Structure 1
Amino acid sequence: MTERASQPAAHRHDDDVFCNESDNPTFDSILGARLSRRGLLRGSAGLFAGSVLGPVLAACSDDDDPVAGFKWNAVAKSTADALTVPAGYSARVLYRLGDPIDAATPTSANNGTDTGTSFAARAGDHHDGMHYFGLGASGAYDATNSTRGLLVMNHENITQLLLHPAGATTPRPADQVIKEMNCHGVSVVEVTRTGSTWTYTRGGNYNRRITTNTEMILSGPAGGSNQLKTKFSTNGTRTRGTVNNCANGYTPWGTYLTCEENWAFYFKRAAGDNANRSAAEVTALNRNGITQGAAGNYGWTTVTPGDAADTNFARWDATKVGTSTDGTDDFRNGPNTFGWIVEIDPFNATSVPKKRTAMGRFAHEGCFVAPPVVGQPLVFYSGDDSRGEYCYKFVSTALWSAADATGGMAAGDKYLDAGKNFVCKFNADGTGSWIELTLGTNGITSASTVYPFADAADVLINLRLAADVAGATKMDRPEWSAINPKNGDVYFTMTNNSVRGSVAQPMDAANPRYYTDNRGTTVQRGNNNGHIVRLAPSGGNHAATTFTWDIYLFAAQATADTAANNADYQANVNLSGLDDTNDMSSVDGCWFSQATPGLLWIQTDDGAYTDVTNCMMLAALPGNVGDGGAVTVANKAVPQGAGGATVDVTVTTRMGKKPEPTQLRRFLVGPKGCEITGIAETPDGRTIFVNIQHPGENTTAAQLTAGTPESVWPDGSGARPRSATVAITRDDGGKIAVD
C-alpha cells in the first residue's frame, strides 16, 4: 500500500509509517498429492456466478507491432474508470466485497446496509495477496488441476466510507465496528472453470472467512512469553484474529501464509501511558509506531456501551490499565500478538491458524519460499514495508524432506517453529551479507544500548530492534519479494520513499536516487517512483550468508515534467530507459510465474503518477544479477536539514541491463483509485487471478451522498465501487502473456 495525501489519518498508507530512527546505513509441482484426510471436506452447493465486467471493461487496439516472446501488445496508460487488458484477453469479475460464501447469507446490497455479523460469511474488503491451490476430484490437493481449486486471499484493509450507508458514525456503533473487523482477514473459496468462465462455489465445504475474531495459536519459541500474555490468553499461547493482511506466501506442503503488515495503527494507547511502562517497553512500542496518545485506526475501542464480557473492542487498547506484573488483566501486550506470519490450512475448514513466532515480528510484506532442495533448510524471504526498514529471510533448522510435501500443519510445526532470522546489508561494491538476528550475536544482548534484549523470545518479538543493532541497510519500503525459478535470483520491490535524501536516510548504493517531480500542482521529493533490487545468493544457495546484487529496475515516468529538464531526467532518474509502453510508479507486487519460468509480473500501488495513469500490472522477462554494470547517479539539490541548504550528491550503484520493450511491457491498467495487487495462476498458465483493491478509495462523503463516487467499478453506473478478484484468460485458450 502507498500513501494517499488526500486520505484521513485513519486511512493513511504505508509511506506514512516511519518508526526507524536507528543510525544504520541506509514449486507447486513439489506439493504432490495431498493427504487423504483432505478429501473429507469436499463437495459443493450451488454455484454463484461472478459478474462480467461488461461496459467498464476495455480492450486495447492492435496498432502496435507484435513483440517476440509476448502474445499481446502493450496496454496504454489510462485514467478511465475501467479495467483494461490487451486485445485477445478477457477479464471477468469472480469474487467481490460482500459476496456471500454460504447459501444462507443473502446477496450483498452493496449500499452499506449489510449487517456487520453477516460479513463473517461474506468476502472482505481490500483484496490483496492470494494463491491458487488445485483441488482434485477426491478433494485432495492436486498440483496439476487447472479447472477446480481453492483460491485463498488476503483482505488487507477497508474503505470505511463505503462500508456504511452514510459513512462511519461516532461514537462507533457496535455493528459498524463488527463489520469493519470482519472485512479484514482472509477468504478461502472454492473456484471452478467451465469453458473459459470461472465461478466461485457458494456454499462450498472448504469456504471459510478468517477475520480479526478467529482464534489463533501463538506457535513457536515466543509462544508463552510474558510479552504475549493478555486478559484473553493468560498463558500467552493464544490470540484473536489477524489484521492488515497484505502480501502472502505458500509452503511446499500446501498451506497458505498470510502476513500481518501495518497492524500497529489499529491500537490505541492513552496519553501518559509511558509513565506506567518500563523504558524497554516504551522503546519497543515507539519502534513499532504505537506512541502514547495514538487513537487507533477507525476508533474500534470507542464502541458504547462496550462489551466487558468478551473484550472484543477493548482489546485494541494497548494502554496499561491493570495492576498485574505480566499483563494478564488488560491488553497492554495486545500489539505483541500481531505482526507475525500466520499459517492456514485451506483444506481443513475447522483447523486453527498458527502464528509462527520463530519467523519474527515486524510489518511483514509477504513470505516467499525459495525452491526447496532435499537435504537443505527451507528459506523464506520477507520485506518490512515502511520507510527505512529492512529485508529479511528465515532459514529453517529442519532440512527439507520431500516426504513432508503432504504434511499439512504438522510440516509447519517442523519447519516454521525453529530456525534463524537474518537481515540484509548491502555493500557499495555490489556485494552484501545476511546478518544473523539471534540472542548473543551481532550485539543483540541484554547490554545493548539500543534495547536490552531479555531473552530469545524478546528478540523475535522485537526483531526490528535486533536489526537496528545488527546494522542492516535502511531501504525504500521493502514490499514483495520473489524468486526467479530459472536462476534463483531474489527480487525485492522498493515502493518509494518520500524521506530518501534526508539527514536520517541519505542516499546509498542500494537506494541511490533523490529527485523532485510534480503530481499536478504538488511537488514530490525523494525516491518518488521506487525501484526493484535483486540478489544472487552465493553459490546458488539461499541459505548462504553472502550475495551479490544490483538494481534490476528504476521505476519512473517516461519523460520529465518539463522538456528543459528531460536530459538530466533521463540520465539520473529514468535510469532504466522506460518509455510509454512500460513506464510505471510505486512498484509493489512482484511474482514469478511457475507455469512460465522466467516470466515476472510487476504490480503498482501508486500515489505519485496517478494524474497520468491509474495503477497497473506489467510483464517482464528479466535477466540475471550482473547483466548490466556500474552507473553513477547525480542527485541534484538534495536538502541538508533545516535552513534550506542543498547540495548535489553523486552515488555509484550497480544496475541491471536496461529492459527493452520486448522484455517489459504494460499488461493491465485498473479503474480509478485502485491498487493492482495480488496474483495467482492455474498450473497450466492459462488463467491468472488478479486483485483490484479499493477502486474509488478517494470518494468523498459529498460524492457518496450525491451518488457520484470516484469509481463505479465493477458493477457499473449507480453502484458503489468495491474491491474484487478478476480471472483473466486468453480468448484463444493459450497461456497468458507468451506464445
Structure 2
Amino acid sequence: MTCHYRCASACAMPVANTTDNSYFGDLVRSAVSRRGVLAGLVGLGVTGAAVAQAQPASAFGGGDRRLLAAPFEPGHQIDFSPIAPVAKDSDSFDVPEGFTWSTVISWGDPILPGAPEFDIDAQTPEAQAGQFGYNNDYTDVLPLGGDPNRAVLVCNNEYTNEEIMFRGYAEQAGPTEDQLRISMAAHGMSIVELRRASQSSPWAYVRGSEFNRRITAQTPMEFTGPAAGSRLLRTNADKHGRTPVGTFNNCAGGTTPWGTVLSGEENVNGYFRAPAEATDAAYERYGIAGEGRGWDRVDARFDTAVEPNEPNRHGWIVEVDPYDPSSTPRKHTALGRLKHEGATISLAADGRAVAYMGDDERFDYVYKFVSKRKHREGDRKHNLRLLEEGDLYVARFTGDGTADGRYDGTGQWVPLVTGGVSRVPGFSVDRVLVHTRLAADAVGATKMDRPEDVQRNPVNGRVYVACTNNTNRGTEGRAGTDEANPRAKNKDGHVVEITEDRDDAAATRFRWNLVLVCGDPADASTYFGDVDRSLVSPISCPDNLAFDTAGNLWISTDGNTLGSNDGLYEVTVDGPDRGLVRQFLSVPTGAETCGPVIHPDGSVFVAVQHPGELDGASVDAPVSFFPYDGTGQPRPSVVQVRPL
C-alpha cells in the first residue's frame, strides 16, 4: 500500500536507485507490444506439486498449525456474480447480489479495559492507546480455543490522516503535541477477540478480552538475527542496539504456520526529520530527508541530528504472537531492511521456512528468505526462532525471446547472505541486512514496478507478485517512453507468476511469466489470457493478494486509475479461464481495499483504509460517511462480507 498522506512523495518517487540493473519493464515491453506473444505467456501451465501447508489444529495453545476456522472443503470457492465498476464519486460499499456486509470494528472502537467510546471531539493519546488504531491494513482471522465461533483478529494500522481525524486541522499551523501523540498511538497494530452466535452469523469484537492488545509507535521490541547489536542499530537510549521502540507504517504482513503474525514496516522514511545537509548515501537510498511528520517535537529520536541511527531501527519484518499479549514483538534482521509490503511464509520441501517479500518502491526489488532451521510440527518454541537465522536472496529476472514469437522468462534468486556470510563484495553481513537496498543494487537485481504483495499459491505452488504501478517506467532515457510503447508508463500495474525449480520454495532458480497486464480490457496493451474480454472486469493497481483453496487468486487494489473506486477481484489462474478477472466488491470514495481474507465459511474480510481521503476533505466537510455509523465521519474499518 502507498502512504498517501504526508509521505506520499516518498512512497511513490524513485529513491536514488540509479544503478544499471535490468529493469523488468524493459524485459516485458516487447512482449506486451507484439501480436500473438502474450498468448505464449500462459505456457507454464499447472504444476504437479502444491505448497507444503499447515493443517488445522483443534485448539491453539499446544497446537502449532494455522487455519482461519474450519478448513475449506477441497476445491471450495465463492460463487458470485461480478459487480460492475463503481464510479469514484460514489460513497457506497458494493457487494454482489446474494451477499451482505457488516462492520466488524472501526477506528476508535474501545478494545482495552477502561478505553472510552469513540468521540472525535474528545480524543486523547491515552484513549487512542486503548482503541482500535487508524487505517487498518493487513488483516487475518485466527482460530481460538477450538471453538469455530471464536477467533482473534490481527490488523495492521499503517498511518494517519490528520486532516480528517481532527476538527479544524486545516486552520492550524501544524499538529498540536496532543495530536502528534494521538497519531503515534493510532499507528502500529490492533489485536482483538471476535465472537459470533453461529457460523452463519456476523462476527463482532469482544471489548476487554484478555487477547486484546494495541501495539504502537512506543511499544518496546527486540531485534533478532545477525544484525542485532550492530553499531548501525545503536542509539543513545540503546547502546547495545538490541531493543528498538515501536512500529509504524505497518503495511501488509503474513501469518506463519506456527500461529504468529508478521507485519511489514514500509514507508518509515517519512517519519524522520533529516535536513538535506545531514543526509548520506544510505539515507538517500531509503528516502530519509525532510521534516518528517513532526514526531521529533514529542520524541527526539525522530530527529536524525539527535539519533542518526534511529531510521535504521525501522523498515523490518516484525513478528507478533497474537495469543500472548505479554510477549515482546521481534524485529527480524535476517529478513533485511527495506520498504516491506509484507512477508508470507511457505515451507520448503525439506521443511525450512521461506518468506517472500516485496520492496514497495518504483524500481525496487523482490526478495526471499530461507530459514536455516527446519519447521517442527507441534514444536512452537522451536518454530518461533525460525526467522532469526537463514539465507537472504534478491530476484534477477531474465527475458528470453524466441524465433517463434513465444516469450518465456527465467530467473534466479541472487544470494545476499548465505550460511552466515555476506555474498556482496565490500559489504559486511550487518551492512547487507541494514542497508539491503544498497546490497541488492550491488548484485544486479532486477528493478520492478513497485512490487508489493508476494504470495505462494497453496494449490498450484506458484508465486505471485503484485506490481502495483510505475508511471516513471520508460522515462530517464529508458526504452518505451513514447506512444508506440503504451505500457512504458505503467499506470495500471501487472501480476508476475513465478514457478520455482522442482516446485520447491527453497530453490534458487525459477521461470516466470505474466498473468495479468492490468487496465481496461478494451485497451489492447492489457493482457488477460485468452478469455473473452467482455467477461473481464477492469482492474488497476494490484496490491494485496490472497487465495481460496480452489487456487483462485484474489487481488485488492490501491489507486485505481480507471475512474472507479478500488475493489477486490477474483482471478482464475489455471485452466481455460486463466486470466479471467471478476470484481467481487467495491469500497467507498477515497478508500483503498486492504488485507483480504477469504474465509472458509464463504465470507470475505477486507480492511477499508482511509475512506474519504480526498483533497479538501475535513472533519467539518467529509466526503465519505463510511461505515455509516451515525457519527457523520469516515472511519477506517474491517468489514465482513457474507452470503445471505
Mapping of residues 649-728 of structure 1, within 5 Å: 659-660=579-580, 664-682=581-599, 684-700=600-616, 703-704=617-618, 707-715=620-628, 719-728=632-641
2:189 is aligned to: 186
Mapping of residues 279-428 of structure 1, within 5 Å: 282-291=280-289, 294-296=290-292, 298-301=293-296, 303=297, 306=298, 313-319=299-305, 330-371=306-347, 373=349, 375-404=350-379, 406-407=380-381, 410-413=382-385, 415-428=386-399
- Structure 1 spans left out of the alignment, 5+ residues: 39-67, 137-141, 275-281, 307-312, 320-329, 447-452, 517-524, 560-568, 628-656, 732-739
Does 2:451 align with 1:495?
no
Query: Contact 2:468–2:542 (CA<8 Å) still a contact in 1?
Result: yes
2:21 is aligned to: 24
2:559 is aligned to: 606
Amino acid of the residue matched to residue 245 of structure 1?
Answer: N
d(CA) in 1 for partners of 2:378, 2:343: 22
1:431 is aligned to: 410
Query: Contact 1:558–1:580 (CA<8 Å) still a contact in 2?
Result: no
Q: 1:228 to 1:13 in 2, by over 3 A?
A: closer
Query: Contact 2:269–2:287 (CA<8 Å) still a contact in 1?
Result: yes
SS of the aligned residue for 1:585 comes to: coil
d(CA) in 2 for partners of 1:691, 1:554: 25
d(CA) in 1 for partners of 2:55, 2:372: 23
2:32 is aligned to: none
SS of the aligned residue for 2:618 comes to: helix
d(CA) in 1 for partners of 2:318, 2:491: 32
d(CA) in 2 for partners of 1:19, 1:712: 39
Q: 1:11 to 1:113 in 2, by over 3 A?
A: farther
Amino acid of the residue matched to residue 392 of structure 2?
Answer: N
1:213 is aligned to: 218
Query: Contact 1:372–1:400 (CA<8 Å) still a contact in 2?
Result: no
SS of the aligned residue for 1:215 comes to: coil
- Structure 2 spans left out of the alignment, 5+ residues: 24-52, 65-75, 401-408
Does 2:61 align with 1:35?
yes
1:634 is aligned to: none
d(CA) in 1 for partners of 2:490, 2:414: 26
Alpha-carbon shift at residue 504 of structure 1 (Å) = 6.2
Q: 1:178 to 1:412 in 2, by over 3 A?
A: same
Mapping of residues 523-602 of structure 1, within 5 Å: 526-559=489-522, 569-570=523-524, 572-574=525-527, 576=529, 578-579=533-534, 581-593=536-548, 596-602=549-555
Which deviates more, 123-132 or 9-18? Answer: 9-18
SS of the aligned residue for 1:464 comes to: helix
Which deviates more, 540-549 or 172-181? Answer: 172-181
1:158 is aligned to: 160
Amino acid of the residue matched to residue 459 of structure 1?
Answer: V
Mapping of residues 473-484 of structure 1, within 5 Å: 473-484=446-457
d(CA) in 2 for partners of 1:83, 1:181: 29
Alpha-carbon shift at residue 162 of structure 1 (Å) = 1.5
Q: 1:579 to 1:479 in 2, by over 3 A?
A: farther
SS of the aligned residue for 1:272 comes to: helix
Q: What does the per-residue CA deviation read over 1:433-463, in whole Å, with 9 as the maximum and x for residues that have no partner?
A: 10000289897122xxxxxx2x211111011
Does 2:95 align with 1:93?
no
SS of the aligned residue for 1:492 comes to: strand
Determine which of 15, 18, 34 is the counterpart of 2:12.
15
Does 2:123 align with 1:114?
yes
d(CA) in 2 for partners of 1:443, 1:203: 49
d(CA) in 2 for partners of 1:261, 1:220: 20
SS of the aligned residue for 2:128 comes to: helix
d(CA) in 2 for partners of 1:505, 1:152: 42
Query: Contact 2:456–2:462 (CA<8 Å) still a contact in 1?
Result: yes
1:59 is aligned to: none
Query: Contact 1:383–1:478 (CA<8 Å) still a contact in 2?
Result: yes
2:42 is aligned to: none
1:636 is aligned to: none
Amino acid of the residue matched to residue 115 of structure 1?
Answer: T
Alpha-carbon shift at residue 163 of structure 1 (Å) = 1.6
RMSD of the TM alignment (CA)? 2.6
TM-score (norm 1): 0.75
Alpha-carbon shift at residue 30 of structure 1 (Å) = 5.5
Query: Contact 2:336–2:436 (CA<8 Å) still a contact in 1?
Result: yes
Identity, % of aligned positions:
34
d(CA) in 2 for partners of 1:224, 1:266: 23
d(CA) in 2 for partners of 1:30, 1:553: 32
d(CA) in 2 for partners of 1:18, 1:201: 43
Q: 1:346 to 1:504 in 2, by over 3 A?
A: farther
Query: Contact 1:228–1:236 (CA<8 Å) still a contact in 2?
Result: yes
Q: What does the per-residue CA deviation read over 1:619-640, in whole Å, with 9 as the maximum and x for residues that have no partner?
A: 122128xx9xxxxxxxxxxxxx
SS of the aligned residue for 1:84 comes to: coil
Q: 1:78 to 1:377 in 2, by over 3 A?
A: same
Q: 1:33 to 1:718 in 2, by over 3 A?
A: closer
Query: Contact 1:248–1:256 (CA<8 Å) still a contact in 2?
Result: yes
Amino acid of the residue matched to residue 506 of structure 2?
Answer: A
Mapping of residues 512-523 of structure 1, within 5 Å: 514-515=485-486
Amino acid of the residue matched to residue 178 of structure 1?
Answer: R
CA radius of gyration, larger in: 1
Amino acid of the residue matched to residue 722 of structure 1?
Answer: R
Q: What does the per-residue CA deviation read over 1:559-616, in whole Å, with 9 as the maximum and x for residues that have no partner?
A: 3xxxxxxxxx41x3456575475111101111112xx23122111001522xx21001
Query: Contact 1:2–1:607 (CA<8 Å) still a contact in 2?
Result: no
d(CA) in 2 for partners of 1:710, 1:10: 22
SS of the aligned residue for 1:234 comes to: coil
Does 2:457 align with 1:466?
no
Query: Contact 1:388–1:505 (CA<8 Å) still a contact in 2?
Result: no
SS of the aligned residue for 1:366 comes to: coil
Mapping of residues 501-516 of structure 1, within 5 Å: 501-503=474-476, 506=479, 514-515=485-486
d(CA) in 1 for partners of 2:186, 2:122: 14
1:224 is aligned to: 229
Q: What does the per-residue CA deviation read over 1:182-235, in whole Å, with 9 as the maximum and x for residues that have no partner?
A: 111000000011241211000000100001000000111111111100122111
Aligned length: 587
Q: 1:513 to 1:76 in 2, by over 3 A?
A: farther
Q: 1:24 to 1:427 in 2, by over 3 A?
A: same
d(CA) in 2 for partners of 1:35, 1:714: 35
